Homo-oligomer: A and B are copies of this chain.
Amino acid sequence: MITLDYADRRPIYEQVIERMKDLILLGVLATDEQLPSVRELAMDLSINPNTVQRAYAELERQGVIYCVKGRGNFVAGINALKDKQKEELKPQLLELVKKAKKADMTENEFTELVKQFYSQQ
Contacts and interface: CB of A to CB of B under 8 A. Distances in A.
Contacts of A93: 96, 110, 113-114, 117
Interface residues of A, number: 44
B105 A86 contact: yes
A62 B74 CA distance: 25
Contacts of A107: 114-115, 118
Given A25-B102, A85-B102, A85-B103, 20 more contacts: A6-B74, A9-B67, A12-B68, A83-B103, A86-B100, A86-B105, A89-B105, A90-B113, A92-B96, A93-B110, A93-B113, A93-B114, A96-B96, A97-B114, A101-B118, A107-B115, A110-B114, A111-B111, A111-B115, A114-B114
